[in-house]
Amino acid sequence: MVFEYNCIMALTPEQTHLLDISHHAKVFLQGSAGTGKTTGGTLWLKKLIQSGIPAHEILIFVPQRTLAAPYDRCLQDEPGLAQSLVTTMTLGGLARRMVELFWPVVSPASGVAFPDQPPQFLTLETAQYYMAHIVLPLIEKEGFFASLTINRNRIYSQILDNLNKAAIVGFPIDEIGPRLKSAWVGELDQLNVYDDVQECVNRFRSYCLSHNLLDFSLQVELFQKHLWSSPLCRNYLTRSYRHLIADNVEEDTPISHTILQEWLPDFDSALVIFDEDAGYRFFLGADVESGLALRKTCDEQVKFSTQLVNSPEVQALRTGLQSTIAHLSGNTSTSTIPDFKAVTTALGTPAENPRFFPVMIHWVADQVRQLIDSGASPGEIVILAPFMSDVLRFSLANQLDTLEIPYHSHRPSRPLRDEPTTQTLLTLASATFPEWRLFPKRINLAFALMQAIDGLDLVRAQLLTAYAYEEQTREFPLKPFEAVPSEVRDRITYQAGERYDRLRDWLAEKTPEDSQNLDFFLNRLFGEVLSQPGYGFNNDLNSANIAAVLIESIQKFRWAMDTPAGNNDLSISKEYIQMVMEGVIAAQYIQSWQQDHQDSVFLAPAYTFLIRNQAVDYQFWLDIGSPSWYQRLDQPLTQPYVLSPQWQPSQTWNAEDELAAAHETLSRLSLGLLNRCRKKVFLGPSDMDVSGYENRGLLLRVFQHVLLEARRRSR
């Protein structure tokens, strides 16, 4: 059968060569970002289906569900490709499906207390809840982590991260503490911290087994140790999936690579796609070396080298940046510096370095306005920083609003409690159910009413709560608008008062079931009141998405509590609200990655943009003097390099290792961003960072070196 390409854009000779390979082959495809590898993967998928291969026999394997978006779009654009039958999975999805399907097989060896009962699968959020249940008494009563001054939610998440690293790398969880201790060369107090980490890990795992709770690490362990070697499970997978497309394998984990390496011979065909100069998910366990080793298992190796994204000027800048970082790292004696004209064409910088952070923000917003006025699409512009803090996002948003520039943002690691929509919904719920004894403070309720009622500012909202809200009562605490003195009602306005009464009356009609089914309650509250005309979330798609994420999170939490571990005497809704208010890190919900904002500027952390795997015309890199572009996160309870498969337990982590890791991180991040830039990069420097400290980081020095050497050699 002849494959019909049906492509709007012309294929490169490399893509044509890939598609000319037999669909019964196993191909390892590698190349840098922007060379058309994933496009080749989507065309390979079309080729498989058009060749008569049943869609349900095709498996698309990715490290993160969002990376399968191009394949989903490919299937959606071609109705005849039977999109619902093609399976997309990650390691976590594969482990959960198999453990759930073959629970009777694995349960006797799992170590759970109730092998004849189904397990409860934990999300990131519910795992943090149970971790807090274990760790909090140890902190408060036994002095665990006494030498640390970090938020407790960070303690919970880092301990879970250690468990996950052990599972995806493949070493026993009782080695976590010893591995961390063996690499440490600093203060002796830190060794006690690692001992505390190991004790918390042991107690958490024991608690999960005692109550049939399976967090991510335990799911992966059960699948890898017991099911993957089971003929029953292996035969099921082999018969179900005959053709594999594994994309972005450089971002996947050692266990994933081991499974793929053993599984590849069983497939009738396979396309394994590897992105060079990547590995951005290293802190989540990505392993580039074991991903590259998969090429030995494939019949054919194909390399894409034609750059389809970068202009010649951006390519020249990329070459100079890569060479300079290698030179500063001591890997080369000299650096390759491109033509000065090419560098200055690809770079946009202020005429004078702004001294203070707000001046840089003003310059960035003005440059974005000029680009749009000159014909650039807002959707082809991204504004990036190593971390998108609340202060930075607010400052950017304020400037972009002033200039009437559309924008959207995505910060996947942002705690749920930091979203105004979340605060509004949970505050209204807390006020509605006084039996929870989670009485909102007046200022918090005023803020919620300001968000909920259109046209109600904070001053009027505070006046309203001063007279219409009764704190610390066991009765419904919201009084009708007529209870407010007439002179105050005039100031609040009767229109706002009418909307308040409508909201109050709706809340007052709550049922006993609402207090236990918070997700149902909030779903009705948002749909029946807050999203209607006259209320704050009307026609607000961003708030609707946050509400959907919150409701899904509550639903999964409620399911997790409905287990032998759950306490039927407590209010699940109350427990959830307390968990969120303590700052639990939100799990990843795919709808937050799938929003379509084609005509607005994107504000995001640099790594979030990279994982989206999309190219744009213009990039703004903010605060380039900050060391956050290359320094590791401050994680006193874990260490991703020490817990990686490349680390030898006998080694110690010293200053040279830290510097080498910084150079490697900077190289991967900067080259990855440039590979996804078509026309120009704007650098946003400031002499002082947002906290008032001087900025003289490595990335700034690299760009200065490139510009100075390019100018010198052009003379």
**pLDDT tens-digit map of 288-324:** 999 999 999 999 999 999 989 999 999 989 988 888 8
* Cα angle: 416, vertex 421, 423; to 5 degrees: 65
d(CA 228, CA 461): 58
For residue 86, which of 54, 131, 56 has the smallest C-alpha distance? Answer: 56
Arch. (CATH architecture) of 13-96+230-304:
3-Layer(aba) Sandwich (3.40)
d(CA 385, CA 695): 14
Residue with tokens 């609200």: 577
The dihedral built from the CA positions of residue 686, 689, 692 and 696, taken in this order, carries a sign that is: negative
Count the helix, strand and coil residues of the chain and give each as a percent rounded to the nearest 5: 55, 10, 35
122: tokens are 């934990």
Q: What is the pLDDT of residue 715?
A: 63
d(CA 264, CA 235): 14
Please name the residues in contact with 137: beta carbons below 8 A apart, sequence gap of 6 or more. none
Amino acid symbol at 447: F
Amino acid symbol at 597: H
Q: What is the pLDDT of residue 563?
A: 55
Which residues of 190-343 form beta strands (DSSP E)? 213-214, 243-246, 269-275, 300-304
For residue 684, which of 390, 396, 325 has the smallest C-alpha distance? Answer: 396
SS (H, E, C) 556-596: HHHHHHCCCCCCCCCCHHHHHHHHHHCCCCCCCCHHHCCCC
d(CA 77, CA 99): 33
| Residue ranges of domains in the chain | 13-96+230-304, 119-214, 312-414+595-714, 416-582
CATH code given to domain 312-414+595-714: 3.40.50.300
For residue 618, which of 338, 388, 377 has the smallest C-alpha distance? Answer: 377
Q: What is the pLDDT of residue 566?
A: 47
What sections of 21-90 are H helices per DSSP?
Answer: 37-50, 69-77
Q: What is the pLDDT of residue 517?
A: 87
Amino acid symbol at 580: V
446: tokens are 């005023």
Cβ-based burial of 94 (10 A; exposed 0-12, middle 13-18, buried ≥19): buried
d(CA 166, CA 217): 8
Amino acid symbol at 364: V
Q: What is the pLDDT of residue 3?
A: 47
What is the mean pLDDT for each group of 10 consecutive residues in the chain (715 residues)?
A: 52 92 94 92 92 92 91 79 78 96 95 94 90 94 92 91 95 95 91 96 97 96 95 95 96 96 96 91 89 94 92 91 84 72 88 82 94 95 89 89 89 76 94 91 94 93 94 89 92 94 93 82 94 92 86 85 52 86 66 61 91 92 90 90 88 91 91 94 82 78 85 71
Q: What is the pLDDT of residue 410?
A: 77
For residue 1, which of 48, 45, 33, 44 has the smallest C-alpha distance? Answer: 48
Domain 13-96+230-304 matches domain 312-414+595-714 at the CATH topology level: yes
Please name the residues in contact with 372: beta carbons below 8 A apart, sequence gap of 6 or more. 378, 381, 405
Report the SS3 class of residue 335: coil
d(CA 217, CA 165): 8
Q: How many CB atoms lie within 10 A of CB 598?
A: 8
d(CA 479, CA 467): 8
Q: What is the pLDDT of residue 277?
A: 83
pTM of the model: 0.87
271: tokens are 């396309």
Residue with tokens 């699968």: 121
